[in-house]
Structure formats: structure tokens, C-alpha cells
Structure 1
Amino acid sequence: MTTRLELFRKRMEPSEKLYTSEILDFTEKFDELGEMTLIEDPDIDTQEYIYQFEKLNGTTEEALDKILIEICNHMDKFTKNNGIEQFDQYVCIWI
């Protein structure tokens, strides 16, 4: 028997791949960010996708906040332009 969580993951898989590819491409320009880790945090029938970036070079919190805002704004536009707004509802981006 397939669970609702498994169905949710299967439905979100194409959006996850597209989103992950875009966020990796977009964040390459930030020298202040290191490796990204994708954390899947399951609930009963959905899950959150947490994109966590390593901060590098002792960057100030103010600079990181500006980078985070730029990433979030870009990804919001990207999800709307690509019809994956539903996936975006389950995403968190952490630095």
C-alpha cells in the first residue's frame, strides 16, 4: 500500500529536480556560500525541502541576509515562471 507521503514525494520529484538545479546554478556566483545540503523533513503526508548552505569566509550576518533575500526573490520568480509554485510552498532556504 502506497502512503500519502510516498505519493507526495513522487508528485514533487520533477519540481524538486528543477528547483535544485536552478538554486545550485544561481548560487554559484556567491563566494560567501559553500556546499549546499538538501534535507527532506517528512511529515505525515507531506514534507519540507530544506536547502541549507554553508557560510564561508566569516561573512557578516548582514551580508548573508542580503544574499538570502536575493536567492529567495530569484527562486520565487523562477517557481512562478516554471509553474512549480506548489513545490515552493514546501521549501525553506537556510544559510
Structure 2
Amino acid sequence: MEDYAFENDVIKLEHELNKLKETNKQEKQDMQIRIDKLADKLTSSLENRNKLIQERYDLLNYIRSLERQRNILLIIITTIVLSFLIVIGFTLF
């Protein structure tokens, strides 16, 4: 009788162990799915961040180009005005 109770306890414990193993396996799969989803979101966020950084660098290069063009235009206008004043000065004197 004692062996029968022990065997029943062992069977119950084995059954419970199998349930726990299955639950653990399912939880691991669920966690892996969550990890994969988060990794995908992170990858997407990093790609978007890299695109924004590249756009900012492009915009910065464009601004620098405009500043160079403005400086060149100012030099040209100043040269033309000075040339015009010199020509007027020679013409009048």
C-alpha cells in the first residue's frame, strides 16, 4: 500500500513536471517572439535615425554651399561696384 501511494505521488510529480516543462517551453517561445519583435522595431528605429542623420548632413552641406555662393556673390558685387566707382572717378577727373 505504501509503494502504491509513493508511485502515485511519483506519477503526479512527473505529470506536473511535464506540465511545467511544456509551460516553460511555451514561455520561452513567447519570449523569443517578443524579442524578435523588439529587435525588428529597434532595427527600424535605427534605420530611421540613420536616415535622419544623413538628411541633416545633406542639409548642412547644402547650407554651407549656399553660404559659399553668397560670399562669392558679395565679392562679385563688391568688385563690380568698386570697378564702377573707379571708372566714374577716371571719367570725372
- TM-score band, normalised by shorter chain: under 0.3
Larger Cα Rg: Structure 1 or Structure 2? 2
TM-score by length of 2: 0.26
Which structure would you say has the larger RCO, counting Cα contacts within 8 Å and 6 or more residues apart?
1
- 1 or 2, which has the higher strand percentage? 1
TM-score by length of 1: 0.26
